[in-house]
Amino acid sequence: MSIDDKSLGGDGFTILSNSDTGKIALMVESTNAQEVEQAMALFGIELNGIKNISMDMSATYALVMNNLIPCATQVIDKFHVMKYVSACAAKSELELKSTLPPLSQKRKKEQNKISKYWRNSNS
């Protein structure tokens, strides 16, 4: 199963879906942990059939899953992991660049040639 939040028309929704089929199992017009938990609790013991749950890094969903299906394995989905890693890498790059001395004109030209080569080879 997967759980994620979506903004539709300015309203926040929580969507629980089957990861294999993509079918929506539950859609709640809220991202509040208590409200999501109340809605999911309507499934009763059927929740015990969920073995894995894919989610973003939201503490809200971790709390709900820990309360309702503590035996399910929680997995952070790859989109959110890569988004987090990319943001960290970009931040580190900026911090590193700020500590380096400015490039000479010759070095800037070399770097531009390398950048153009990589942009052209990846297209």
- Output the pLDDT for position 123: 59
Give dist(CA 35, CA 63) in Å, integer: 12
**Extents of the domains making up the chain:** 2-78
Query: Which pLDDT belongs to residue 119?
Result: 77
User: For position 107, what pLDDT does the model report?
Assistant: 81
Count of all residues that appear for the chain in the document: 123
Burial profile 98-117: b = 16 or more Cβ within 10 angstroms, e = fewer: eeeeeeeeeeeeeeeeeeee
CATH class name, domain 2-78: alpha beta
Q: How far apart are CA 121 and CA 18, in angstroms?
A: 39
Quote the tokens at residue 40: 């999911």
Residues 6+ apart with CB under 8 A from 84: 57
The tens place of each residue's pLDDT in the chain, 123 residues long, gives 999 999 988 899 999 999 899 999 999 999 999 999 999 999 999 999 999 999 988 888 999 999 999 999 999 888 888 988 999 999 998 898 888 887 778 888 888 888 887 778 765
